Structure 1
Amino acid sequence: METSSAPNDQAGLVTYDLRGAVAWIGLNRPGKRNAISDALLDAIGAAFRRAQAEARAVVLHGHGPCFSAGLDLGEHRARSAEEVFHHSRGWHATFAAIRRGRVPVIAALHGATVGGGLELAAACHLRVADESTFFALPEGQRGIYVGGGASVHVARLLGASRMADMMLTGRVLDAGAAERAGLVNYLVPPGEAPARAGALAEKVAGMAPLTVLGVLHALPRIQDMSEEDGLFVESLVAALAQTGPEAAARLADFMEKRGTKVAGPGN
């Protein structure tokens, strides 16, 4: 295991542990509830650039009492409309590098996952939440609007109506409600999110690269296509993945009874 701060992160705002093929990236402003400052956003970007180069999966987690309480309002200052626009686009670019990168990212959530913290969690491919996790979009109550991609990515996970409810009324979702709404993939007892996320990441890291490419890059795009276009792209990705050497080896293992059969849940 290799442990360090992310490159160019002198303040240690992000921790980085490489455990075999899995990179563990930790938000490390516990005294500020991992509020996302401009410096932390830069450190997140640097850590993910490193992970994309040397890992097969990532676990993203938060040190301290919560995953992230959102935008660091201590840095809030009067900005022109143009400055706000470009600040928001900077968040979009960092989170896009997570969503559109080479490796699957699993968020391990606990405590407050609020505002920009929820937007960061939504940029990940899977989310594991323990029962202490809660979700909110308080921007509406503060007279501002989301700027880290929630209008697209949180709304796609929850549905626009649920997101509107959270912004207009200040509704807070507990972990159970978030799982039922589709925001959370796995719900676990308190303190167990990192272990479950790590186990999932180890499993994901063993996936065939061409299959991962299809899931990370084709599947999200297919959702925006017409039915016929989506089915066409599915066939192209199937042809690419199933004619690769790794697929041939894995299918041979299965046919010769060396592969693992699908078992029921909990087995």
Structure 2
Amino acid sequence: MSFQYLKTAEIGAVGVVTLDRASKRNAIDEATLAEIEEYFSSVPDHIKAILLKAEGEHFCAGLDLKEHFDKKRTPVEFMRVCQGWHRAFDKIQFGGIPVIACLQGAVVGGGLELASAAHVRVADVSTYFALPEGTRGIFTGGGATVRTARIVSAPRMVEMMLTGRIVDVHEGHRLGLAHHVCDPARGDMPAAEFALELAQKIAGNAPLSNYAMVTSISRIADMSTTDGLFAEGLMIAVVQSGDEVQQRVGEFVAKKAAKVKPDSGAGLAPQRLPG
């Protein structure tokens, strides 16, 4: 695929998607949104995880307000724009492939909505978060009331929007906006390097298990307890029929698989791994 505002690449089974409007702080206009939707609508079968990152100092400053100002959209026109954001970001969240976002600098407005659609978020220490819609006289339109509010809670999101305050990377980590923070000053791996390692590790999981995790858990959270438990049972029944189940469980039974314990090395931390 050839794009104007995205760069795409492949590193083994990991697809790499890079926002490429650094001069605009990677703000999202209609053309960029269309490219995001196009990529996530037709991910090649051999790609098992996706690393989403950005050129320049900032991940994404949100909606391209200049385009919005110049177009003077009617309410109906902007409703259609919002539906385009929802459709594109749904394909990130529910497309069946784990998406790992690497964040730096501004993750603001629509940029936070984009990051909230990813399944794992790795933040450079320079990262900061904000929802400045209140100060701009607008409202969220890319899914923050659903995705971001479920991460930080609705009352916290209301406060962020009313005040427009900056949430630094450490508070963002506590709130769940970032799962990992990489600070090279304390010996951590660079965020892009760590995010790629995570993506490669996740790509090594059983594909059907990954699919189940990224498509079902958020949906089950929307259900009643009874419906959620039933859906969970259906999903594990499907996953258990996967070709890799017997092989992977067999390795564990034969004591060939690593046990889960703090010093097993099975997980990753932002610090550089030995070797």
TM beyond 0.5:
yes
Alignment partner for residue 42 of structure 1, among 34, 40, 46? 34
User: Paired residues, what number?
Assistant: 259
The Cα shift of 1:263 comes to: 2.5
- SS of 1:51's equivalent in the other structure is coil
1:148 equivalenced with 2:142 (yes/no): yes
Whether 2:219 is the aligned partner of 1:221: answer yes
Residue 62 (structure 1) aligns with = 54
TM superposition shift of 1:54 = 3.7
Q: In structure 1, what is the Cα distance between the partners aligned to 2:251 and 2:140? A: 48
Q: 1:222 to 1:84 in 2, by over 3 A?
A: same
Does the 8 Å CA contact 1:16/1:26 hold for their aligned counterparts? yes
Query: 2:228 aligned with 1:234, yes or no?
Result: no
Distance 2:263 2:28 in 1: 37
TM-score, normalization: structure 2? 0.90
Give the share of equivalent positions with the same residue, in percent: 45
Q: How far apart are 1:218 and its partner, in Å?
A: 1.5
TM-superposed deviation, 1:265 = 6.3
Distance 1:244-1:54 versus aligned 2 partners, 3 A rule: closer
* TM superposition shift of 1:238: 1.6
User: Which residue is equivalent to 1:198?
Assistant: 196
Q: CA contact under 8 A between 1:29 and 1:63: conserved in structure 2?
A: yes
User: In angstroms, what is the RMSD of aligned CA positions?
Assistant: 1.5
Instruction: Quote the residue 1:89 is aligned against.
Output: 83
- Quote the residue 1:207 is aligned against: 205
Aligned match for 1:180, one of 168, 174, 177: 174
**3-state DSSP class of the match of 1:161?**
helix
Answer whether contact 2:101 2:120 (CA < 8 A) is retained. Answer: yes
* Cα distance in 1 for residues equivalent to 2:117 and 2:91: 9
Maintained 8 Å contact 1:67/1:109: yes
Equivalent AA in structure 1 for residue 182 of structure 2: V
Task: Give the match for residue 273 of structure 2.
Answer: none
In structure 1, the partner of 2:13 is 21
In the TM superposition, structure 1's runs of 4+ consecutive aligned residues that sit over 6 Å from their partners are none
For the residues of structure 1 that align with 2:150 and 2:119, how far apart are their CA atoms? 13
The structural deviation recorded for 1:188 is 1.1
Q: Which segment drifts farther, 148-157 or 221-230?
A: 221-230
